[in-house]
A = this chain, B = another copy of it.
Amino acid sequence: MPKVTREHRTARRDQIVSAAQRCVNERGFHKTTMADVIRESGLSAGAVYSYFKSKEEIVSAIADQALSTIAESFEGILATEQPLTPLAALRATLEHVVRIAEQPGGDITRVAPQAWAEAMHNESSLSIAQDKYGLLRGHFLAVTRRAQADGTVDPDIDPEYIAQVLFGLVPGFVLQRLILGDVTPESFTTGLAALLK
Contact = CB atoms under 8 A, between A and B. Distances in A.
A144 to B, nearest CB: 9
Interface stretch (A2-10, A46-54, A62-70, A169-177): A169-177
Contacts of A122: 28
Contact of A178 (B120, B165, B178, B183): B120
Given A153-B194, A168-B169, A195-B86, A161 B188 contact: yes
A187 interface: yes
A190 B172 CA distance: 18
Interface of A: 25-31, 86, 110, 113-114, 116-122, 126, 129-130, 133-134, 137, 153-154, 157-158, 160-173, 175-176, 178-180, 182-183, 187-188, 190-197
Contacts of A190: 157-158, 161
12 contacts: A27-B121, A28-B122, A113-B119, A116-B116, A130-B180, A160-B187, A161-B191, A164-B188, A165-B191, A165-B195, A166-B195, A168-B188
B178 A162 contact: no
B28 A121 contact: yes
Given A161-B194, A165-B169, A168-B188, A180 B133 contact: yes
Contacts of A119: 113, 178-179
Contacts of A153: 194-195
Contact of A188 (B30, B165, B188): B165
